[in-house]
Structure 1
Amino acid sequence: MRRFDSVCGDLIVGTTVRATIISHERWGLIAEVLGHETVGASVDGRCIDSPSGSPRALPEEYPPVGKQVDAVVQEIDRYHPPVWIRLTTRAADLREFSWPCGCCGEPAVLSPGGDGVTVDVRSTDGPGCASFAAHRACLADRLKTEFNGDRARVNAVGRDQPPNPALGNQSP
């Protein structure tokens, strides 16, 4: 079985990337994420700052074709081929990106240092990957109390790991 859903496995929602604008569309932009040129990417017009104050950037406000921009990965669609990356270039999202928690519905900050994590759901039955954002606390609280190791890992992923004497990595 060939798993298309492993493409871009190193990209995570909330990650800042550089992208080149490939084309303008009436709804937004087609872009190419540097280092991930084989995967499609887009920016919806609602995810581009509008100097005119419009809730959706006007086509004349889009960055020019060929320009490189900073963007945040908003969503990675690995449910069915082809893998597609949705980006946002809004200044507010570049400062701090949040997405609704799949557990409580409140915004979870997915930017580095935030209170959110991305959960990927995969199956051995075949390719395809669904993902959702969650607050660390919401996800950990929903795990059975008997799963203390899983709770600890949810709270530790991406953070400095506390020393674990059982593994021999005590602090000096």
Structure 2
Amino acid sequence: MERFETESLALMPGQKVRARVLAHHPWGVTVEIVGYENAGLTASVDMIQQFSRTTSSYDELLGLFPPTGSQIDAVIEQISRWHPPVSVRLSIRPADLESLVWSCDFCGEPIELSPGGDALVLDSRSNDGPGSHTLISHRRCLAERIHPENGGERARALTVGKAH
């Protein structure tokens, strides 16, 4: 058994994906992410969480469910790699597809996860065993928590992924 599942590491919060709807459930839909069909991960869209506040009836909410077998545009909200299988939660809200905003795990303030935003996605792993945990951070929040004498790592936290 591999210590860390690695195929899903290419997926991260804020990333746009295509997904194929597999089944309807009372709470939403299960999907497979196109290109990751054999990766051994589960993926879903919680339709009630995303749309129940904007619909006036359960029938109206059901009308928003994408048809089984259809492909949809989605954005990754969360990934859980704590234990197998990897679980991916997607959003299909139009606003999230334009710009996914989440909360910084350090300061709690909003942060844009979409390309061009100021978010860093941190995957923490133990050297003792499998599983990992994803944290979302503003660049400055991470940089402020790095020891002042480690200036190189502070500088990298402020610039990683930015075009030079």
TM-score when normalising by structure 2: 0.90
1:124 aligns with 2:138: no
What CA distance in whole angstroms lies between the structure 2 residues aligned with 1:97 and 1:55? 26
What CA distance in whole angstroms lies between the structure 2 residues aligned with 1:25 and 1:93? 22
In terms of mean alpha carbon deviation, does 40-49 or 15-24 score higher?
40-49
1:23 aligns with 2:23: yes
What CA distance in whole angstroms lies between the structure 1 residues aligned with 2:153 and 2:12? 20
CA RMSD in angstroms comes to: 2.1
Deviation string 1:138-169 (CA, Å, 9 cap, x unpaired) is 111111111111111111211113xxxxxxxx
1:82 aligns with 2:85: yes
State how many pairs are aligned: 161
What CA distance in whole angstroms lies between the structure 1 residues aligned with 2:153 and 2:64? 46
Sequence identity percentage: 45
1:43 aligns with 2:45: yes
Deviation string 1:87-146 (CA, Å, 9 cap, x unpaired) is 000000001101110110011111000011111101111110001111111111111111
- Structure label with greater radius of gyration: 1
Verify the 8 A CA contact 2:55 2:61 in the aligned structure 1: no
Q: 2:110 aligns with which of 90, 107, 121?
A: 107
Using the TM superposition, give the Cα deviation of residue 4 of structure 1 relative to its aligned residue in structure 2, in angstroms. Answer: 4.2
What are the ranges of 5 or more consecutive residues in structure 1 without an aligned counterpart?
Answer: 162-172
- Structure with greater helix percent: 2
User: What residue number does 1:53 align with?
Assistant: 55
User: What residue number does 2:3 align with?
Assistant: 3
TM-score when normalising by structure 1: 0.86
Change (3 A) 1:55 1:145: farther
Using the TM superposition, give the Cα deviation of residue 54 of structure 1 relative to its aligned residue in structure 2, in angstroms. Answer: 4.8
Q: Which amino acid aligns with 1:34?
A: V
Deviation string 1:67-95 (CA, Å, 9 cap, x unpaired) is 11110011111000111111000000001
User: What residue number does 1:164 align with?
Assistant: none
What CA distance in whole angstroms lies between the structure 1 residues aligned with 2:57 and 2:24? 18
User: What residue number does 1:138 align with?
Assistant: 141
Where 2:130 maps in the other structure, the secondary structure is strand
Q: 1:152 aligns with which of 146, 152, 155?
A: 155
